[in-house]
Chain A
Amino acid sequence: RKEVEQDPGPFNVPEGATVAFNCTYSNSASQSFFWYRQDCRKEPKLLMSVYSSGNEDGRFTAQLNRASQYISLLIRDSKLSDSATYLCVVKSGYQGGGTSYGKLTFGQGTILTVHP
């Protein structure tokens, strides 16, 4: 089983659509969870962290289910500028002093194309 597995995609949606990405991870000891965005041939950029209570940032909502080892990202009212590869990322490592550090394990990414 892959450490981090994402929907294969690609997703091709019209502007204004709602799109959902899913991800599962295999290491139950994983500590922190993220969605990153990667534009073509660019570095990954943090989109948002993911918490068990769920969190929202504008049009983006992320959810974590630790029991199922499942992470999701919902994008509402898609914009052309949302076109990118979305990476599900899990951190395993060390925690202390209110922070955590350690290696990131990436999923293979899901390509989203938003068209007019």
Chain B
Amino acid sequence: EPEVTQTPSHQVTQMGQEVILRCVPISNHLYFYWYRQILGQKVEFLVSFYNNEISEKSEIFDDQFSVERPDGSNFTLKIRSTKLEDSAMYFCASEWNTEAFFGQGTRLTVV
């Protein structure tokens, strides 16, 4: 069964460093998303991406965040200068015919 894959599964970084989280969506899907979940809190929408551009973003998705699809298969989330409060589980999702499929997530720990 096709699945969304994310790497790495866990990343530890120092405050102020840049991180790139990677996702490989399901191949025939057209809509891509990033969500995050701070430990003990709800899943929150960050950004949606379609046709090589951002279609919607939340207020969480400020200038420190960016997304791109560099090669037609990978979908990346970059955080330019990480803060302690960026520590969370980051989920990538891709969508086809109404249903969103989530990757297993990257746990980001900022120290």
The residue from A43, A99, A101 contacting B104, defined by CB atoms under 8 A apart: A43
Contact indicator B41/A49 (Cβ below 8 Å): no
Chain B positions within 8 Å of A30 at CB level: none
Nearest CB on A from B87, distance (A) = 14
Contact indicator B43/A44 (Cβ below 8 Å): yes
The residue from B89, B91, B98 contacting A101, defined by CB atoms under 8 A apart: B98
Q: Give the B interface residue count (CB, 8 A).
A: 27
Contact indicator B31/A43 (Cβ below 8 Å): no
Contact indicator A106/B99 (Cβ below 8 Å): no
Report which residue of A41, A43, A107, A108 has the largest number of chain B beta carbons within 10 angstroms of its beta carbon. Answer: A43
Nearest CB on B from A85, distance (A) = 10
Q: Which of A28-42 contact B (CB under 8 A)?
A: 32, 38, 41-42
The residue from A42, A43, A99 contacting B98, defined by CB atoms under 8 A apart: A99
Contact indicator B43/A87 (Cβ below 8 Å): yes
Q: Which chain A residue shows the least CB distance to B93?
A: A104
Q: Is the C-beta of B76 less than 8 angstroms from some C-beta in chain A?
A: no
Q: Is the C-beta of A16 less than 8 angstroms from some C-beta in chain B?
A: no
The residue from B56, B103, B104, B105 contacting A102, defined by CB atoms under 8 A apart: B56
Beyond A42-B104, A44-B102, A99-B98, 17 additional contacts (C-beta under 8 Å) are A41-B107, A42-B105, A44-B91, A49-B99, A91-B98, A100-B98, A101-B30, A101-B50, A101-B95, A102-B48, A103-B33, A103-B45, A103-B48, A103-B56, A104-B43, A104-B93, A105-B45
Instruction: Identify the A interface with B (CB < 8 A).
Output: 32, 38, 41-46, 49, 87, 91, 93, 98-109
